[in-house]
Amino acid sequence: MGNVLVFGASGQLGQCLRHVAAERGNDDLVFLPEAEANILDTDAVKAAFAHYQPTYCINCAAYTAVDKAEDEVEIARKVNRDGAANLAQACTEYGATLIHISTDFVFAGTCNQPLSETDEAAPISVYGLTKLEGEQAVAEHTSQYFTLRTGWLYSEYANNFVKTMLRLGRERDELRVIWDQVGTPTYAIDLAGCILTIIETQNQQYGLYHYSNEGVTSWYDFATAIFELSNTHVRTVPIRTAEYPTKATRPAFSVMDKTKAKTNLGVYIPHWRESLKACLGRL
């Protein structure tokens, strides 16, 4: 298979890749330390590719502070667009395949049908816009790529909604949670498994894919399920997005159709409650 370079290895998905690779006995992944893995440093990127001669590159590095991005447009754009372009160019130069992670935030969230890869992307936040620009940069600079759009990522690693809810549930008697934003949670362990399946099967059906867990839920119902399955006793109160104003606008509906991923990538995608149970069992 050859070396697989992982950029952004210290983040949530990078840590999940490390976990799943160890479970599968896959020792081809090279988790680059941050000092070697600045995707904005073209010399560092080229040096890593020259040294490791990878057959695959996984880009887990991203600017993901959704609200801060509204004020930090240029740095968000540098990381999410220019960094992705740097990796795509290096992949072309070294004949490697790029696996790039994108987001459901590329959609406006105004429709009520599951979104396919061919539906129009019309981001309503700086974060979503810069991630869409990253997708476009990848497609412009390499033909050997898999761009995986995902959303609502959580796991036992790093900071995420599940861990935040568990902490707040221990501290408070009541929590107010938004109910009018609808999507699908994604267990980052499952996403890591999908990425490794692409590599291990040497899949060449390149292009854009959607990947989240199966099913549909709101943040309110997701929080309620977290408390129910973890036996945490806290009252949840549904509120509208307007009652919890944020700097960036979020898509109201970002449920993604995963038919293409299931057909072309040969992956089984669990229901979000099934995966949530698995995660809570590890916390």
Of the residues 127, 145, 154, 211, only one is catalytic, namely: 127
What is the maximum alpha-carbon separation in the chain? 56
Which of the 8 DSSP states describes residue 234? -
Ordered alpha helix ranges (H), the chain = 12-24, 42-52, 73-77, 84-94, 126-141, 161-171, 188-200, 219-229, 259-265, 272-282
- Point out which residues pair with 176 in neighbouring strands: 237
- Cα torsion through 40, 209, 211, 249, rounded to 10: 60
| Among 37, 149, 138, residue whose Cα is nearest residue 88 | 138
Name the helix (H) or strand (E) containing 186: strand 186-187
Q: Report how far Cα 147 is from the mean position of its chain's Cα atoms.
A: 10
Between the alpha carbon of residue 111 and those of residues 101, 215, 254, the distances in Å are 23, 17, 8
- The Cα 124–Cα 187 span in angstroms is 25
Structure token digits, residue 122: 């019309």
Q: Is 127 a catalytic residue?
A: yes
Structure token digits, residue 199: 């590599």
| Among 226, 247, 228, 57, residue whose Cα is nearest residue 156 | 226
Handedness of CA 123, 176, 64, 153 (dihedral sign): negative
- The Cα 232–Cα 175 span in angstroms is 12
- Catalytically active residues, by annotation: 127
